[in-house]
Structure 1
Amino acid sequence: MTAPVASQVLAFPPASAGQTADYMLHKLSFHADAWDVAEDLRNGITALVVIDTRSESLYAQGHVPGAISFPHRLMDAQSTAALDRSKVYVTYCDGIGCNGSTKGAYKLAKLGFTVKEMLGGLDFWVRDGQPVATGSAPGAMPADAPAIECAC
């Protein structure tokens, strides 16, 4: 007779349903995904500003339409003085292997701005099939860009 296999998942007991709901709500307050950001840009939501935290040269090669180029390395009290504090800033970088968006979000939050980080960065944006702008101008989400169905 073979001994029962111990569960790797249940080796640490799960939180209660209430604790999980609280944690997930808390987690959602820090992040947005590419689809949510695209929908807000497509719908002309003006309460948020998308920030590409990568270098200006990477931004020019391709960025989220409407995003402003603001490398995290340049963020400080002086360089952010003109930003509108009533907006929510959504930072992104290359993808999950890059922490530029985290550094940018940290710096902005430390300076008193409301921030969310876009999960997966430009990599997940492209994987979702969203349009990409090139050049040094922010551009805008194309009015005729088809809404991409979220499959989750």
Structure 2
Amino acid sequence: MTTSAQPNEHLVNHFTRKLECETDASDVHADQEAGRRFLLIDSRGDAAWNQARVVGATHLPTAQIAQRAPAEIPVDMPVVTYCWGPGCNGATRAALEFAKLGYRVKEMIGGFEYWAREGLPVENDHGRIPHATDPLTAPLDATTCDCT
């Protein structure tokens, strides 16, 4: 007789909560392309923003969120934060600041690094910056990784 495994409620709850708080570059780009309503926040400083950023992002450094967000961003606007990459917790800090203010917020895991490595559009003040997709981080001949 075989028995079926029962869901581990603790793990189901953990991963459900994680998906409520996190997204990734591919999903953010898909949401942009679909015209979904949200604001993508680059929480890095001026030098990083000026060097390159996600096309369509808004610059709001973490230290300025508490002061500027209530006046500039409607509280019912969903927010996604990003910083440099997985070795930086700046996006987490920015997401925390938005959460404290009552915003529905997610952190874009992988940050700007994985956005760029996946070949997604980046720009600076002079326009789009052409760059190649890193074959170790994204499929070269497909639009998604099919991991949904």
Task: Report the TM range for the smaller structure's normalisation.
Answer: 0.7 to 0.9
Post-superposition CA distance 1:61-116 (Å, at most 9, x none):
1111111000101122x311221111111000000111111111111111111110
TM-score (norm 2): 0.78
Match of 1:69 in 2: 59
Match of 2:26 in 1: 35
- Give, as a single letter, the amino acid of the residue that structure 1 aligns with 2:28: V
Is 2:24 the counterpart of 1:58? Answer: no
Q: Is the 8 A contact 1:90 1:117 kept in 2?
A: yes
Higher relative contact order (CA 8 A, sep 6+): 1
By how many angstroms is 1:151 displaced?
A: 4.5
How many pairs does the alignment contain?
A: 128
How many Å separate the matches in 1 of 2:89 and 2:48?
A: 15
- Say which of 102, 107, 111 aligns to 2:92: 102
Is 2:68 the counterpart of 1:79? Answer: yes
Q: Counting strand residues as a fraction of each chain, which structure ranks higher?
A: 2
Tell me the secondary structure at the aligned position of residue 75 of structure 1: helix
Gaps of 5+ in 2: 1-5, 129-141
For 1:2-151, list aligned pairs within 5 A: 17-46=8-37, 48-76=38-66, 78-80=67-69, 81-135=71-125, 148-151=143-146
- Give, as a single letter, the amino acid of the residue that structure 1 aligns with 2:63: R
Q: 4+ residue runs of structure 1 moved beyond 2 angstroms?
A: 15-19
By how many angstroms is 1:134 displaced?
A: 1.2
Post-superposition CA distance 1:32-66 (Å, at most 9, x none):
011000100111112x1100000122112111111
TM-score (norm 1): 0.76
Gaps of 5+ in 1: 1-14, 140-146
Structure 1 residues 97 and 133, CA gap change in structure 2 (3 angstroms): same
By how many angstroms is 1:136 displaced?
A: 8.5
